[in-house]
Structure 1
Amino acid sequence: MTTIINEWQLDCRLNKAINQQHRADFALWLAFLSPAIDEMAEFQTPQITPITETQDIYASFSLPNPRKFGWQEPDLATLTRQSLALQQGGLRQLKLQQYLVPGPLVLTDDSAKLAGEVNQNLDAHSKRRRESGKLKRTESDPTALYDILQQLEQTAA
């Protein structure tokens, strides 16, 4: 027989005893519970075991790794084969060649580059963050406030 430590092990017996007004059963089930605070159900967090082993899904399905979007050295040969396929077999052969060995999508692979339409629709804060990065805060000068107050007092007088 296992020892009862917290409410999870009692399932709904404690709740049924309260609802049906069985005081003796409630006292019995309550006596079984551990009085230690750290063993109560509220403090029993589930143990999370970190996954240390990473699975390469491409290797498990015997797939080649995805290609980058930008131009690479072997792309010249790929595009030459696609050009020959278009000349010899027409559009169907070209499409088949493109599906088998895809070519580059862009000339340079720049992940920070945005399309012109997207960049135009950014607000001023987003554009500033993209261009300069983090906001540089200047240290406050307590004497500058005094100078500003003096200037305001002179203009008001």
Structure 2
Amino acid sequence: MQVHTLDKAGLINEIKVGTGINQAVHQSRRADFSLLLAMFSNDVRDNTPAEKVETPVTTDQVLRRRFQLQEPQSLRNDQSSYAISSEHARQFHDGGLSSAKLSHYLTPDPLTYMPEDTFDLPEEIYSNLSGHDRRHLAEKTPPTLIPATLYQELVDANRHDQIRAQA
């Protein structure tokens, strides 16, 4: 009965014990002192007063909307990149370098122009691949594994062909 009441006491620190721990130290009662210390919670979150801090969600999109910034410069090209780069070239020919820079700052073109339809491989490597490798790269779903009963199915098919040939 006393064990359960000690468990439910919920001793966190020396404030809940009162003067008991102080008296155990002054009266040299080591057993009482060690018992009281053993009943304290060993979780630092119980001993340290802390407030829950609400952190606002700050994602890249939220900050861009808040400060009215444009979308970041894309890393790779897509079909719309070619129109942007031709507009930059037109601005350069019509208005000079400052016009081209202004056009770039308003609508930045991508950092790199990668070859298209090569599955992120350089063109030299992609052109050296065999047709089988290119077909494997183009497949969206992985190929199914060979069934475990393939050998038995081949033997059965061979026997059926032998029976048909004899009949």
Normalising by structure 1, we get a TM-score of 0.40
**Whose radius of gyration is greater, 1 or 2?**
2
Normalising by structure 2, we get a TM-score of 0.38
Q: Which has the higher helix share?
A: 2
